Chains A and B, each alone.
Chain A
Amino acid sequence: MININAIHKSFGDVEVLKGVSLTVAKGEVVCLIGPSGSGKSTVLRCINGLESYDQGSITINDRQVDVASKDINDLRTQVGMVFQRFNLFPHRTVVENVMEGPIFVKNEPRETAHANAIALLEKVGLGDKVEAYPQQLSGGQQQRVAIARALAMQPEAILFDEPTSALDPELVGDVLIVMRDLANEGMTMVVVTHEMGFAKEVADRVCFLYGGQIVESGDAHTLLTQPTHERTQDFLRRVLNH
């Protein structure tokens, strides 16, 4: 459903994506790994049009992702995004954060949106926090609200950009469990992560990004245990022994 075909992207004179291609089928979970600055976030941001790309093409269900086009907002409702720093709206309660998109973007009636939001919050284990403000929650709880907010739009896919990197180690698990459950339910997911355990267990495929190119990709187990490319071996040695 997501089709990235040889995209290039430069910031000023620096080319940060040098022909990245990636196809994600419906229900597939793909993990993107790679060193800092390799372009992982930029790939995700291009997929839902937070960033434009210079060359190549990205399609979602055969519709072209074009930042300048009118239906980019419509495409964004189909692909959710979860950020490293949660990015909840601090002036709204947890349930209001989740209802915001359904009410104001999809024009759902308030009661429907509220009922759905409560159900989603219960699903991510926050049924008792619906009226709290984001600042009153732990990082792990905030991230689960952010996941519920993305789910509330009933997207066909969700992009995760290092969803657990900003969390204290003891809070990582709860977020990963929610993500694993989503994967098991058949959600299409592209996950940038340094959690190799999660990648190994949940991902159908892992892609290693280096210097703006995918240098190696394959099924999770093979790539993580028997990488063929020297850069991949190097990188994995470092993250696994950190």
Chain B
Amino acid sequence: MEFSDITAFLPILLKGALITVQITIGALLLSTLLGLLLALMKLSPVRALSLTAGTFINVVRGLPIIVQLFYIYFVLPELGIQLSAFQASIIGLGVAYSAYQAENFRAGIEAIEAGQIEAARSIGMKSKLIMRRVVLPQAIRIALPPYGNTAVMILKDSSLASTITVAEMTRAGQLIAASTFQNTTVYTLVALLYLCLSLPLIFGVNRLERYFGKSAKGGKA
């Protein structure tokens, strides 16, 4: 492993890392919005909504993410929907993870006891106010640690975008390795860079879990 190799490869890999981060953030945002919508649909008393959401969630969870990416990148254009590889990777990952996010959010909302909602109604609070003041503040606390875990998973699975030609970090590594045969140096660097991104997230999640674990037993939060 030569130092000069490292200084030569690092800028290219960092460029890839930037795309990795962009995909992760984009997919995280999309999965959050879609996941919240799916969770609310699934909890809706309107059967058509909850059934639609439930079916969507199951189908998406039952498919490998890579197949969803291929579908969006290769099949949608045949239906007249043109997407860049970068866009396709964000949409593919975002949709795939929306199913997991929906389950996180639903668990958070369902963890609030019905009794609290009745107590809120009994002092005259309306549904929207109850959502805002009683349900969501608690649901967010419950859903935040699994949310952080999902973010870590999306970060790692953003490497799947390499299969549809997005020059994110894994693909950048592959390209360098293919032309220089410096497999050890390249993939060690790639692995270290992923850890630089994921470990802070993981520590953050652990802290959140400890923090909320305590406040659930009565600490100030």
Contacts and interface: CB of A to CB of B under 8 A. Distances in A.
Interface of A: 48, 50, 73-74, 76-77, 80-81, 83, 85, 87-91, 100-101, 104-105, 132-133, 135-136, 146, 149-150, 153
Given A104-B133, A135-B217, A87 B119 contact: yes
Contact of A87 (B115, B137, B219): B115
Contacts of B121: 50, 73, 76
A50 B126 contact: no
Given A76-B122, A149-B123, A87 B116 contact: yes
Contact of A101 (B113, B124, B141): B124
A81 B125 CA distance: 13
B115 A80 contact: no
Interface of B: 113, 115-116, 118-126, 129, 133-134, 137-138, 141, 216-219, 221
A105 B126 CA distance: 8
Given A100-B125, A101-B125, A153-B124, 17 more contacts: A50-B121, A73-B125, A76-B124, A77-B124, A81-B122, A83-B115, A83-B118, A89-B120, A90-B216, A91-B138, A91-B221, A100-B120, A101-B123, A105-B124, A136-B218, A150-B123, A153-B123
B218 A91 contact: no
The DSSP consensus for interface residues of chain B is helix
17 contacts: A50-B122, A73-B121, A73-B124, A73-B126, A76-B121, A77-B124, A80-B123, A83-B115, A87-B116, A89-B120, A90-B138, A100-B123, A101-B124, A104-B129, A104-B133, A105-B125, A136-B218
B119 A77 contact: no
Contacts of A77: 123-124
Contacts of B115: 83, 85, 87
Contact of A74 (B113, B120, B124, B221): B124
Contacts of B118: 50, 81, 83, 87
Nearest to A137: B218
A130 to B, nearest CB: 14
Contacts of A133: 218-219
Nearest to B127: A73
Contact of A81 (B113, B119, B133, B137): B119
Sort A-B residue pairs by CB-CB distance and give the 10 closest, nearest first: A87-B119, A101-B123, A77-B124, A81-B122, A87-B115, A133-B218, A135-B218, A136-B218, A76-B124, A73-B124
